[in-house]
A and B are shown apart, each in its own frame.
Chain A
């Protein structure tokens, strides 16, 4: 298992790092989240169920690590941040696109990140988000529609 994790890290580390970057909105924090996520996976490798998908399991752990870092950073910056404030924190200084993505509901946002940065397929996203596979499709569709509407002016036609 340790070897499998190391292999996954070496082969897909860049994708997981982009996933973390998308969540934290910061390259350095993303690297921290990647390292923390794999360290946690290594620590909890005994809890991984063999029949599950390792890629999806680790993606979820890295995403959690990234979200923890965002929360901690937000706590340090503000005494009592709300969820909206945390999301805005991620998008601070970025384009309208980042704001649009940040405004998605958490499940839709994570589904988009898992799909386009961690390169998970629908089954893996379902495992990572602990939802049905059919729900993944609906979630991504909803996210696409919402993003398209939000970015209508920005999408090149």
Chain B
């Protein structure tokens, strides 16, 4: 730096002596140490809280979000989740067969002289498609070796109050080679009208499938 410039830079800060005080430096250092200790404790507490939050969030992700996401994906690709309950917004819960499908809806019927809402459902051991709203109007004919079970149920009233009370649905012991049969029973307060259709003469395996479907119909 040239002398002129050096002089100017030197002029920038006056050479005016400062009152030096080492005791003040020591006091400040002690205050900083105490302040640092408080900050360290606060930081440690923050880290502990953050870790705990992360653990809780991880657990939530593992046990709640992941299963829900898996369910959402499965529903997106398979609207009728096989092997899982089909909720029909009714007192009944219907569990599907692994390869089956189902549809549900509601219709209005005159029962005991009054219009009532009747919940309907169709459960099959094969895949079928339908167009909402589902109302049992176009029940598919089951292919040979398969079956379709339609169910109508409503709060028991009138004649239905006298239907046989059962705890679970099942086929009669001996149905022979009947390809279609109906059941009228009550589970709790629900009157249930069941229509079972076989695509061919029922074999033991088809009867077992029908009973498996019926066993999956429970009162929620």
Residue numbers of A with Cβ under 8 A of B are 6, 9-10, 13-14, 17-18, 21-22, 27, 30-31, 34-36, 38-40, 42-43, 97-98, 101, 112, 116-117, 140, 144, 147-148, 151, 154-156
Q: How far does the Cβ of A140 sit from chain B's closest Cβ, in whole Å? A: 7
Interface size on B, as a range, is 20 to 34
User: Is B20 interfacial (CB-CB < 8 Å)?
Assistant: yes
Q: Which of B16, B18, B27 is the most central at the interface, judged by chain A CB atoms within 10 Å of its CB?
A: B18
Would you call A17 and B18 a contact (CB within 8 A)?
Answer: yes
Known contacts A13-B20, A14-B18: A35-B28 contact under CB 8 Å: yes
Residue numbers of B with Cβ under 8 A of A are 1-2, 4-6, 8-13, 15-22, 24-29, 31-33, 36
A106 and B36 CA atoms in complex are apart in Å by 28
Would you call B5 and A39 a contact (CB within 8 A)?
Answer: no
A117 and B6 CA atoms in complex are apart in Å by 11
Would you call A101 and B29 a contact (CB within 8 A)?
Answer: no
Would you call B26 and A18 a contact (CB within 8 A)?
Answer: no
Would you call A42 and B13 a contact (CB within 8 A)?
Answer: no
Contacting residue for B12 out of A22, A39, A140, CB 8 A: A22
Give the residues in chain A near B2, CB-CB below 8 Å: 144, 148, 155
Would you call A42 and B5 a contact (CB within 8 A)?
Answer: no
Complex A-B, nearest 9 residue pairs according to Cβ-Cβ distance, in ascending order: A39-B28, A39-B29, A42-B29, A17-B18, A38-B25, A13-B20, A21-B13, A144-B1, A18-B13
Would you call A40 and B24 a contact (CB within 8 A)?
Answer: no
Would you call A156 and B26 a contact (CB within 8 A)?
Answer: no
User: What are some 28 contacts across the A-B interface (CB < 8 A)?
Assistant: A9-B25, A10-B20, A13-B20, A17-B18, A18-B15, A21-B13, A27-B16, A31-B18, A34-B18, A35-B21, A35-B24, A38-B25, A39-B25, A39-B26, A39-B28, A40-B32, A43-B29, A43-B32, A43-B33, A97-B9, A97-B12, A144-B2, A147-B5, A147-B9, A148-B2, A151-B8, A155-B2, A155-B4
